[in-house]
Amino acid sequence: MTGPKMWQVYCFPLCPFSRKVRLVLSEKGVSYELRREYPWSPSEGFHQLNPAGATPVVRWEEKNQTLVDSQAICEFFEETTEKSPLILGTAIARAEIRRLAALFDQSFFRDVTAPLMHEKMTKRVVLRQSPDSGQLRSAMRLAHEHLDYIDWLTDTRRWLAGAQLSLADFAAAAQISVADYLGGIDWNGHEGAHGWYRVIKSRPSFRPLLTEKMEGIPAPSHYADVNA
């Protein structure tokens, strides 16, 4: 990445929406610096930046520009940078990219990432409780259903939304990477999805995410291995 670091990304390592934004910024060659922010223990002034109290927030302090909501943030950089368009093609192709990005941001997050984060991160780091094994089993079962759908997509298309790498791939990979960090992804029986994820995971934009650790939560050994 080139240029001065004018953008700040407020996030914590296991926030999937921040991961989507960081992947997009890296792909587009937009440099940024990280500001650690935990929604459950917000820093002073964070609620002024985002009254909803959620991460990610992207900010250019000198210009007093603040961006909130990962999709709005990705669309902003799509509109303001020329490099690596990620919502591309005809209007119908762009609608398909947005449909899939929303599917992973909303359904995959609700079914898989959010319950895993609650059981394995929030309970451990914030609530000091043990995870509920029933909730974990249910999240992993639903993960298989989502991976089945990715298998089907990769059977019929080069990338998730079609012939081109797009925001849909990064939205999906961002959610899966958090679920994988938390031990919720079992690739058995999902060769198509696994092959697609290995390719995404080996992109330079992914590297900083794979080496970052969430305090108090060790990643499984395969997590950062681009061949695993």
Ligand X SMILES: N[C@@H](CCC(=O)N[C@@H](CS)C(=O)NCC(=O)O)C(=O)O
Contact 75, 21 (CB under 8 A): no
Residue positions counted in the chain: 228
In terms of CB distance, is 52 or 163 closer to ligand X?
52
Of positions 70, 154, 166, 177, contacts ligand X by CB under 6 A: 70
* Residue 39 binds ligand X, judged by CB under 6 A: yes
Segment near ligand X (CB under 6 A); pick from 13-21, 59-67, 121-129, 130-138: 13-21
* Residue 53 binds ligand X, judged by CB under 6 A: yes
Of positions 8, 9, 10, 15, contacts ligand X by CB under 6 A: 15
* Residue 189 binds ligand X, judged by CB under 6 A: no
Segment near ligand X (CB under 6 A); pick from 27-35, 69-77, 126-134, 137-145: 69-77
In terms of CB distance, is 53 or 195 closer to ligand X?
53
Q: Which residue has the tokens 């029986």?
A: 189
Q: Which residue has the tokens 């081109």?
A: 164
Segment near ligand X (CB under 6 A); pick from 25-33, 51-59, 147-155, 163-171: 51-59
Q: What DSSP string runs through 52-115?
A: T-PSPEEEETTTTEEEESHHHHHHHHHHH--SS-SS-SSHHHHHHHHHHHHIIIIIIIIIIIHH
* Residue 112 binds ligand X, judged by CB under 6 A: no
Whole-angstrom distance, CA of residue 10 vs CA of residue 15:
10
Is 193 exposed, middle or buried (CB count within 10 Å of its CB: 0-12, 13-18, 19+)? buried
Q: Which residues bind ligand X (CB under 6 A)?
A: 15-17, 39, 53-56, 69-71, 105
